[in-house]
Amino acid sequence: MNLYEYDLSSLRAARVLTTERITPGDDPVEVRHLVLEPEDDHMNYVEGQSIGVLVPGPHDLFGDAYHFRLYSIASPRRGENGFPDSFSICVRRCYYIDDVSGERYPGLASNYLCNAEPGETIQIAGPYGSRFSVPDDSTANIVMIGVGTGIAPFRAFVKHIYEERGGWKGQVRLFYGAKTGMELLYMNDVRRDLSLYYDTTSFKAFEAVSPRPHFDVPPDMERLLMENAKETWDLVQQPNTYVYIAGLSDPARNFRKAMISVAGSEPAWQAVYQKLVEQGRYAELLY
């Protein structure tokens, strides 16, 4: 990621208000929910946007004075829990294995964020991105698909439409996968933010976990999307349905496969997909 491709005129300090582990303490995957507050002025953002985090260097590997990474905003536009000056992000602590030495190294930005204590300040820039956004029309149908921290923008979407907009008339579907039930962020025993909406008539959430988590097998998104392909296919053919895919790229492939299977052929899906893209009703936020 090239730091200089991003507009840094909005560079500012943000204070860590709270940091909470949202995967259980005994789970090897650590994901944290951080609530931040820009120090000087209010930051205007909308759901689906990301902030840039700059880790002060020097960093030998990347050769930059700062190490720059993007994180999706997980709170809706009126702020975390209605506090207008705050916003949240959800960060997975990353490690990587060096090809040559075989040693495990911590990812720079994710560890910087996961180690940050309440009261510390970090440098942020943005918000960035505008295509991945909630439709204005509350009768629109929304299909959201993601794994892992890809849930962050969808938490913001769901909170915005049910809490800030006061409800949604269109159908809302969330397909979400994680390695284990406890890694289903915001839907596990640690945080239940998204389970709160299960009772509303328009919202349905579907969850997939890995069939063999100990062998690092990914969540079974393919099966989940296949099982619900008929209803989703009916939805995506409607002129007011919006599709969003976030997180790792596998769910995008799984979704395409499920749609082709139910459409009957690749060209039949392509025709619908083209229309979704041309009309600005299909957006991906993959990393």
Ligand X SMILES: Cc1cc2nc3c(=O)[nH]c(=O)nc-3n(C[C@H](O)[C@H](O)[C@H](O)COP(=O)(O)OP(=O)(O)OC[C@H]3O[C@@H](n4cnc5c(N)ncnc54)[C@H](O)[C@@H]3O)c2cc1C
Nearer to ligand X, 11 or 272 (CB): 11
Q: How far is the CB of 152 from ligand X (least distance, A)?
A: 4
Q: How far is the CB of 113 from ligand X (least distance, A)?
A: 8
Which long-range contacts does 7-11 make (Cβ < 8 Å, 24+ apart)?
A: 7/125, 7/128, 8/52, 8/125, 10/43, 10/125, 10/126, 10/127, 11/54, 11/123, 11/124, 11/125
What is the distance between the alpha carbons of residues 229 and 145, in angstroms, rounded to a whole number? 13
Q: How far is the CB of 191 from ligand X (least distance, A)?
A: 15
| Strand residues in the chain grouped as ranges (E) | 12-21, 31-38, 50-56, 66-72, 87-92, 95-97, 104-106, 121-128, 141-147, 172-178, 203-209, 241-247, 282-286
Q: Where are the alpha helices (DSSP H) in the chain?
A: 108-115, 151-159, 221-227, 229-236, 250-263, 266-278
Nearer to ligand X, 193 or 231 (CB): 193
Nearer to ligand X, 110 or 171 (CB): 110
DSSP state, 218? P
- Beta strands 282-286 and 121-128: pairing type? unpaired
Q: Are 69 and 60 in contact (CB under 8 A)?
A: no
The closest residue (CB) to ligand X is 107
What is the distance between the alpha carbons of residues 262 and 105, in angstroms, rounded to a whole number? 43
Q: How far is the CB of 272 from ligand X (least distance, A)?
A: 26
Q: How far is the CB of 22 from ligand X (least distance, A)?
A: 12
In this structure, the dihedral spanned by the alpha carbons of residues 106, 112, 118 and 124, taken in order and rounded to 10 degrees, is -150
Q: How far is the CB of 220 from ligand X (least distance, A)?
A: 22
Q: How far is the CB of 281 from ligand X (least distance, A)?
A: 20
What is the distance between the alpha carbons of residues 262 and 231, in angstroms, rounded to a whole number? 10
Which residues bind to ligand X, rule: CB under 6 A? 50, 61, 67, 69-72, 89-92, 94, 96, 98, 105, 107-111, 149, 152, 285, 287
> CB count, 10 Å around CB of 16?
17
Nearer to ligand X, 53 or 143 (CB): 53
CA-wise closest residue to 153 among 250, 240, 77: 77
Nearer to ligand X, 108 or 224 (CB): 108
Nearer to ligand X, 94 or 190 (CB): 94
Nearer to ligand X, 98 or 189 (CB): 98
Q: How far is the CB of 16 from ligand X (least distance, A)?
A: 15
Nearer to ligand X, 98 or 278 (CB): 98
